[in-house]
C-alpha cells in the first residue's frame, strides 16, 4: 500500500491520512469522513475510501 497515494482527489486525502484516522480510532467510513473529509465533496472516491478503511481496520485488529 502506497501511503502517499491520493484516494480522494477533491480534498487530497491519501492512503496514509486514512490510516492515521483509523489508527486514531475511526472504524467506519463515516468516522473516517469526519476526521479527513474524504468522500464528502463529489463522492466519486467513496468505494475506494471504504476499501482502504476496511484494509486498515483489518490491519489494526
Minimum CB distance to ligand FES, residue 8 (Å)? 3
Residue 60 interacting with ligand FES (CB under 6 A): no
HSE-up (13 A, CA, CB side) for residue 23: 6
Minimum CB distance to ligand FES, residue 61 (Å)? 26
**Rounded to an integer, what distance in angstroms lies between the CA atom of residue 42 and that of residue 35?**
17
**Rounded to an integer, what distance in angstroms lies between the CA atom of residue 18 and that of residue 24?**
10
Residue 10 interacting with ligand FES (CB under 6 A): yes
Residues of this chain that bind ligand FES (CB under 6 A): 8-10, 38-45
Amino acid at each position: 500500500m502506497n501511503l502517499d497515494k491520493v484516494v480522494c482527489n477533491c480534498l487530497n486525502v491519501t492512503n496514509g491520512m486514512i490510516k492515521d484516522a483509523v489508527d486514531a480510532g475511526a472504524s467506519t467510513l463515516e468516522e473516517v469522513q469526519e476526521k479527513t473529509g474524504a468522500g464528502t465533496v463529489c463522492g466519486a472516491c467513496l468505494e475506494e475510501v471504504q476499501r482502504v478503511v476496511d484494509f486498515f481496520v483489518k490491519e489494526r485488529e
